[in-house]
Amino acid sequence: MLVCGVDDAGRGSVLGPLVIAGISIEQKNIKQLVKIGVKDSKQLSPQLREKLYEQILSLVEGYHVAKIPPKTIDKSVSKNLLNQLEANYMAKVIKKLQANSSYVDSCDVNPKRFGLYISNLAKTGKIISSHHADRKYPVVSAASIIAKVNRDREIEKLRKNHNLGSGYPSDPKTMRFIKEWVSQNGDVPVFVRKSWKPVKILLGTLS
């Protein structure tokens, strides 16, 4: 009996990819995830996430990571379809992993609607969609760690050449980096999301 968990990382960030990750594991091995200390990635330090990442991969039957670039995100946000974009990618991950049941962290205010949409696309097993699934279900907690570590690694690559902080709009260092880039180049770098309100303000494109 294969169980799948799916979660995202970097949804609220103003730069870098939105990462969707999924893991599939034998139902009898889920308790092993709890045993090694798997929990919502936001409750863990980066060092502990890295350590757990390898342990999770040694326990699961399969995993899949999808990285959605800023340009694709911007296109969806302009049509007010960010939730749909995320659901599309979650469905791709679930289809790839072919589990009997899949637990997803819903970004839609209506988890049932979100789950049904994914189910119609994935056509694989049962879909359980819930708010705070990363806290409720160890399989989703594990997926959240896989997503966050992959997302952190992408940001780390960018940090080698740019002093861009955490990548979130609440971070003054991140916004200062974007502001300076815009003043020097008249536009944002390709890894920044143009559709985010703080960026639109900087670019003067907020309507």
pLDDT of residue 205: 78
Q: Would residue 153 count as lying in a domain?
A: yes
What are the angstrom distances between the C-alpha of 109 and each of 78, 81, 83, 113, 199? 19, 14, 10, 9, 25
Q: Would residue 34 count as lying in a domain?
A: yes
Q: Would residue 204 count as lying in a domain?
A: no
Q: Would residue 168 count as lying in a domain?
A: no
Q: Would residue 88 count as lying in a domain?
A: yes
Q: Would residue 198 count as lying in a domain?
A: no
The domain of 23 spans 2-159
Could you tell me the CATH number of the domain that includes residue 44? 3.30.420.10
pLDDT of residue 207: 53
pLDDT in tens, 20-52: 999 999 999 999 999 999 988 888 999 999 999
Find the radius of gyration of the CA atoms of the chain.
18
Q: Would residue 87 count as lying in a domain?
A: yes
Q: Would residue 123 count as lying in a domain?
A: yes
How many structural domains does the chain have?
1
- Those residues of the chain that have pLDDT short of 70 are 206-207
